[in-house]
Structure formats: structure tokens, C-alpha cells
Structure 1
């Protein structure tokens, strides 16, 4: 909803200025970055002001401690991306998306056409705006009313719905749950920002990988329905995911400093 509001405001401003917006402009990464910033930025500012709290209280941004935490995030996200890709293959086999959906998200996700702009949108704008809004404002509010597990899952569901792509439900839900759990454990939004940026960064570099893994970074033009990743690749993804979770647990145990989450 927030993204839709942002899109509507930017669209209205362009129309008032006499600028005709077509489908090609909608797929422009910089246009998406602008609508994303407006759509999430305005509710975020209003939400913080409404709570009459300092930004540092609502949005706790600190350097991740210990450094092992960053390794845990990277390893877990790499595994999650591999597993999500395979679930996406399975979903598309049983529920093939219509051509208009493929074309629309294909234009938006065409990182080769706009490499710099796409990288800026995926690795900078999206993580910053979405994490401050979902894990900062929304999750913080839900934690004051519900249990940690319920708050994390509700926030992840909202995060999934806002992406408007039912065929990526699992990947968005998994990422949202991971980020929410990390925030609950660390009380540090920087951890969520790093994780989200790393996940989007892996998606961004997929088309540029110099070798091809079937079902993972296969050229969409040559891929066929029901094409899956090699079992060894799935096994690596599972090991990375579980190993990353284990490293995260160890990193949290080593961090003896207790942070307090303000829920007023």
C-alpha cells in the first residue's frame, strides 16, 4: 500500500508537470527508486513523529557486533537465495505465471539494461527504505503488542504482500522472516540492512555470473518450464543456510552486551 501511494504521488506530480509516463518509464530503476523512497519514507517519518520518540530509539542503527555476525548473515543469505530459487522453479512448474506478469517483472528486473541504476535501487534504496519501515517501524510496533514469533511473521507477511508478486511468495516470506528474527535477536537494524542489501546484491549479480547453473541463472529465453537446479547445488544451498544459522547463534552467544529495545 505504501509503495502504491508513493507511485501515485510521483505519477500525479509527473502528470501535473506535463510529463507523459509510459510503461518504459515505469520499469526505469530510478523511477522505481523514487516511488519506493516516497512510498516508504513518508509513512516512516509520520510514524516516528507520531510516537514522539527519537529516530535513534525507533531506528537503532549500530555497527554489527561481533564481526562474526556479518559472516553469519552472508552465509545464510547465500543459502537462502539458492533455496528460494529452487522453490521458485517448483512454483512456476505448477502455477506458471501469465505472460504479462513475466514481461512486467522481466523489464523491472532487467539488470543488464540498467546496471548502475538497478544496482542503486536493489542494493541501496530498497534495503534502506524497506528495512527502516518494516523492521524498524512496523516490527517495533507489533513487538509491543504480540509475541516475537507472531510479530516477526506478521511483518514478513506484510513485506511479502507489498512486493505484489505471488510467484515469489516463498522467497520474500523467507527473507522477511530471517530479517525479522535477526532484528529480534540483535536489536540492531544495521544487521537487517546488511542482510537485505546482500540478498538483493546476489540477485543483481546473477545475470553477470560467468558460468551458468541450470535453473539458477539460466537465460530466461532458453529456459523451459520445470527446469530445476542440480541436486549438488541445492545441497550446497541447504548447507550454507543451516551453517549460517549456526554461525549466527554462535555470534549472538559471543556478544555478551545486552541491547534494550524501546517499545514505548
Structure 2
């Protein structure tokens, strides 16, 4: 993990101020709205969610580290950090930033194996809010924190239900 992070640090990303990074609260708002929408969707878990549920119930301590910490770090480094550094290194206008957000959100949604359009929307909107977090703070700390919070909420809900 440390090696991936050091490799990621080598190439600069240039993110200019745009409409997407002016408000620190916007990613958290999009994330919260995504959580609210999930409560109204049918309870038909994706393959990714079913794996996380099974792992959490069978090995909660390992699951905490795998889902809340490792997955958050790894996915943010790949889908926000590396994608921005190597495919979208210049985000000097809103159009380029929007393309980065859409591509990273699409890839993020697809990697979580959504089984239908509703699940795809949930993962896409989560990816979009994490992308906004990355762009708004020009770094990974905020997006990793928001991702870990999202996974922690899911982890705790599985344990409590």
C-alpha cells in the first residue's frame, strides 16, 4: 500500500478552481442524498454488497479493516488519485473536471458489480460525491475520509441488523 502511495505521489495533478471545488460541503451533501435514496430502493443487494455482508457477519474484525480502511484507501488512490494523475493531470476548467468526475464515477460504479440500474445509480452517485470530495480539497484525504465514513455506516448497519 505504501509503495502504491509513493508511486502516486510522483506525478503532479493541476486542479484549478472551478464550480466543482468551491464548496467543501457539496460532496458530503451528495453523499448524504445518496444514502437517503438508498433507503427508498428495493432491498436487493449487489454482488459487492452481498460479499461485504457475508464477510462482516463471519469475520467482523477482519471485515472492518478490509472494508472500512483498506478498501477506502485503495479505491480512492486508484479511482481518484491515479486516474487524476495519469489520465486527467490538467483539470484547468469545469469541462475537464466534469469529464474526470464522470469517468471516475463510472469506473467506480462498474467495479462494484451493480446488478441493475438502481444499484448502478447508488454506486455512481457515491463515486461522484467522492470525486467531488477529491476535487474540492485537491487531494485524497477528504475523499478517503468520506469513503471510510460511508463504508463504516454500512459496516455498522450490517452488524446491527
CA distance in 1: counterparts of 2:136 and 2:32, whole angstroms: 20
CA distance in 2: counterparts of 1:186 and 1:171, whole angstroms: 23
**2:59 matches 1:114:** yes
Aligned to 1:144: 90
1:47 CA displacement: 6.7
CA distance in 2: counterparts of 1:142 and 1:184, whole angstroms: 12
Deviations 1:154-178 (A, max 9, x none): 1110111111223321111011101
TM-score (ref. length: structure 2):
0.71
CA distance in 2: counterparts of 1:109 and 1:188, whole angstroms: 30
CA distance in 2: counterparts of 1:142 and 1:85, whole angstroms: 34
User: Is residue 159–residue 173 contact of structure 1 (8 Å, CA) maintained in 2?
Assistant: yes
Structure showing greater relative contact order (alpha-carbon pairs closer than 8 Å, 6 or more residues apart): 2
When the two chains are superposed, the root-mean-square deviation of aligned CA atoms in Å is 3.3
Runs of 4+ more than 4 Å apart:
44-48, 71-76
TM-score (ref. length: structure 1):
0.46
What are the ranges of 5 or more consecutive residues in structure 1 without an aligned counterpart?
Answer: 1-36, 59-68, 210-216, 218-264
- Bigger Cα Rg: 1
**2:84 matches 1:130:** no
Match for 2:115 among 163, 166, 175?
Answer: 166
User: Is residue 77–residue 198 contact of structure 1 (8 Å, CA) maintained in 2?
Assistant: no
1:121 CA displacement: 1.0
1:204 CA displacement: 0.5
Match of 1:142, SS? coil
Aligned to 1:243: none
The size of the alignment, in residue pairs, is 144
